[in-house]
Chains A and B, each alone.
Chain A
Amino acid sequence: MSSIDTPLVEVRNLTKHFGSVIALNGISMVVKPREVLCLLGDNGAGKSTLINTLAGVHQPTSGDFIVGGKSTTFYSPRDALDAGIATVYQDLAMIPLMSITRNFFMGREPMVGFGPFKRMDMKFADDVTRDEMHKIGIDIRDPQQAVGTLSGGERQCVAIARAVYFGAKVLILDEPTSALGVAQTSMVLKYVNQVRNSGLGVIFITHNVRHAFAVGNRFTVLNRGKTLGTYEKGAISIDELQNLMAGGKELQVLSDELGGTI
């Protein structure tokens, strides 16, 4: 069963309704080990809704949801985390009043001691947090600093470092580089590569077609809650992909108006 080709996560005809709003209207996609699947699409296409459903935040309205070959329902994000699926949410899911360390290990606290003396291993947690942040290219001043005092990009890096640290099978990144500087962005792309090479599956959402092309193996394009298509890297050019991402609108006209800069 656990052959190399068994998809880590597969959805078929997934739909998600919020009251009368149809956010997802029949999505099918597959994530395999050792590959980066890029989810692309316009604003409001349903990318975040899709990954929120994969991460257990929402329950699908209908459709098949298969994890490791078995039909599954996640009732909460905790279930998804237990199944080895870690997510960097578009809104980051950080608590501003809590320290970097406490945010990093929120919901996955390391413990020492036993019985009534079981307690959080703060030293270990601080060390790991500092280390992981250093790896991603951020020297945090003090792991006990409140996350609310970090810059937007630093905060995004905490969320990414956390997901990479805890992701065991699948790593989901929802526009992880939207606030990052050049160095940190290349670091994140390098991370995505590393994580893939270590055998995980990665779902990577971005609006930057160059970033997608740099790390992606396959590209699934969403439009208005539906899958527009899935393309292998060799089978599509960067320009074709960009046009698909824009929902098929011809970008050439706009590009010409702006002097060919996009």
Chain B
Amino acid sequence: MSIVADDKIKKTPADERLKKASVATTLLRRPELGAVAGLVLVTVFFLLTANPSMFTLAGIMNFMAPAAQLGILAVGASLLMIGGEYDLSIGSMVAFAGLVFGAALVVWQVPLSVAILIAILMAVVIGVVNSQIVIKTGLPSFIVTLAFLFILRGLTLVGLKWASGGATQLRGMKEAAAGSPLTSIFSGDAFQGLFAWLASNDLIAKFPNGTPQVSGIPVEILWFIVIALLATWVLLRTRFGNWIFAVGGDERAARKSGVPVVRVKTVLFIITALCATLVAVLTVLDAGSTDARRGFQKEFEAIIAAVIGGCLLTGGYGSAIGAFLGSIVFGMVLIGLTYTSIDQDWYLVFLGGMLLVAVMFNNVIRKRVTGER
């Protein structure tokens, strides 16, 4: 009898039914595996086919800038997708937030800080409206936010004509925002001093007159990185992150276990609207103008980036770092083709192919994780 008991105690730490998990299997369990593979594949492809200048500092900034604009949306979209919902209105939201922000600056002529605050408040309102309709009616978020895709795009057109006196473009934001201490956080390049120093020490490429070829890191890239890291921290290490997975995995089970489902979903819809607003502020200040086509089809690209990053269409599984990598894949392909002799219109073909492969791949991963039989 005591022998049996001893045996039992010794057995507890290592279970004989558990094969030693190799590094490979542990990696296979990670949702972002597909995105890493995709990124490696695309990098190798362009290393072989593209002009080498693509992978200089200037070239990298070139493809990271559009990757960042898309990526900020994609990270928000990935959180929402893990939470089991979609937001198809984020592309139109970029345009609408751009209009509100721009109009605040040049029509109402408020300071930059106030204009940003107005844009944020508007994003919160839209996020709450989206989420409450989805939650109260129980309709799929796909269809509810599809309605807002059109509503917000239409409102932007109408609003632009009103704000600009008949045109579909609004100008003059750069001038209106100049001088505010917030300008450097939302536009231009960061770390210019560092880059100048690097150039003067011949560590990075410079022009004949001594100024660096790349004057700094565009702020949108920093925003992109910070938001991806923050989202990853929230997902993997916080209570709210656990709730996101729970709500997306099985809403009813989550509620029964004490997860405040309504609150989680509302916050997630607000987050996607805020991400769209951030992109609007960044791009409007960058261009100094806004127009009705801003963010066109970005909702689909953001969802594709999230799917490439390992998010399941059914919710409950995915990663923000995956969406981050998926967006970089996007930026690389979009800009990379201009460094090759390949017709740029292959971009769309590539995009669709990538999505298809990613979805099939994720399906296999899901079966592996859930042990679906």
Instruction: Give the residue among B243, B253, B260, B317 with the most A Cβ atoms within 10 A.
Output: B253
CB pair A109 B242 closer than 8 Å? yes
CB pair A148 B253 closer than 8 Å? no
Residue A202 at the B interface, CB < 8 A? no
Residue A214 at the B interface, CB < 8 A? no
Residue B136 at the A interface, CB < 8 A? no
CB pair B249 A96 closer than 8 Å? yes
B 312-327 contacts with A by CB, 8 A: 316-317
CB pair A97 B238 closer than 8 Å? no
Encoded as 1 (CB less than 8 Å from any B CB) or 0, chain A from 86 to 101 comes to 0101011111111000
CB pair A120 B238 closer than 8 Å? yes
Encoded as 1 (CB less than 8 Å from any A CB) or 0, chain B from 352 to 373 comes to 0000000000000010011110
Residue A68 at the B interface, CB < 8 A? no
CB pair A76 B317 closer than 8 Å? no
Residue A191 at the B interface, CB < 8 A? no
Partner of B238, one of A91, A94, A108, A118: A118
Residue of A with least CB distance to B8:
A139
Residue B258 at the A interface, CB < 8 A? yes
Q: How many whole Å from A143's CB to the nearest CB in chain B? A: 11
CB pair A95 B249 closer than 8 Å? yes
Partner of A93, one of B17, B252, B371: B252
The majority secondary structure among interface residues of chain A is loop
Encoded as 1 (CB less than 8 Å from any A CB) or 0, chain B from 44 to 63 comes to 00000000000000000000
- A97 vs B369: C-alpha distance when bound (angstroms): 7
Instruction: Give the residue among A55, A87, A103, A111 with the most B Cβ atoms within 10 A.
Output: A103
Enumerate chain A residues within 8 angstroms of B237, measured Cβ to Cβ: 119-120, 122
Encoded as 1 (CB less than 8 Å from any B CB) or 0, chain A from 41 to 75 comes to 00000000000000101000000000000000000
Enumerate chain A residues within 8 angstroms of B17, measured Cβ to Cβ: 141
Residue A115 at the B interface, CB < 8 A? no
Residue of B with least CB distance to A81:
B258
Q: How many whole Å from A145's CB to the nearest CB in chain B? A: 9
Residue A194 at the B interface, CB < 8 A? no
The range of chain B's interface size is 20 to 34
Residue B3 at the A interface, CB < 8 A? no
Q: How many whole Å from A105's CB to the nearest CB in chain B? A: 7
- A64 vs B258: C-alpha distance when bound (angstroms): 23
Partner of B245, one of A87, A91, A92, A98: A98
The range of chain A's interface size is 35 or more
Q: Say whether, besides A77-B257, A87-B256, A95 and B370 are in contact (CB < 8 Å).
A: no
Q: How many whole Å from B110's CB to the nearest CB in chain A? A: 30
Enumerate chain A residues within 8 angstroms of B366, measured Cβ to Cβ: 97
Q: How many whole Å from A127's CB to the nearest CB in chain B? A: 12
B 46-83 contacts with A by CB, 8 A: none
Partner of A106, one of B18, B252, B258, B316: B258
Enumerate chain B residues within 8 angstroms of A148, measured Cβ to Cβ: 369-372
Q: How many whole Å from A153's CB to the nearest CB in chain B? A: 15
B 220-275 contacts with A by CB, 8 A: 233, 237-239, 241-243, 245-246, 249-250, 252-260
Enumerate chain B residues within 8 angstroms of A210, measured Cβ to Cβ: none
- A78 vs B256: C-alpha distance when bound (angstroms): 8
Enumerate chain A residues within 8 angstroms of B22, measured Cβ to Cβ: none
Enumerate chain A residues within 8 angstroms of B12, measured Cβ to Cβ: 134, 139
Residue B15 at the A interface, CB < 8 A? yes
A/B interface sample: 20 pairs, CB < 8 A: A76-B258, A78-B259, A78-B260, A87-B256, A89-B256, A91-B253, A92-B253, A93-B253, A94-B250, A95-B250, A95-B316, A96-B370, A98-B316, A102-B245, A106-B246, A106-B259, A120-B241, A139-B15, A141-B15, A148-B372
Residues on B close to A: CB < 8 A?
11-12, 15, 17-18, 21, 233, 237-239, 241-243, 245-246, 249-250, 252-260, 316-317, 366, 369-372
**A-B interface, 9 closest residue pairs, ranked by CB to CB distance from nearest:** A107-B258, A149-B371, A148-B370, A95-B249, A93-B256, A93-B253, A141-B18, A119-B237, A78-B258
Residues on A close to B: CB < 8 A?
55, 57, 76-78, 81, 87, 89, 91-98, 102-103, 105-109, 111, 118-120, 122, 134, 139-142, 146, 148-149
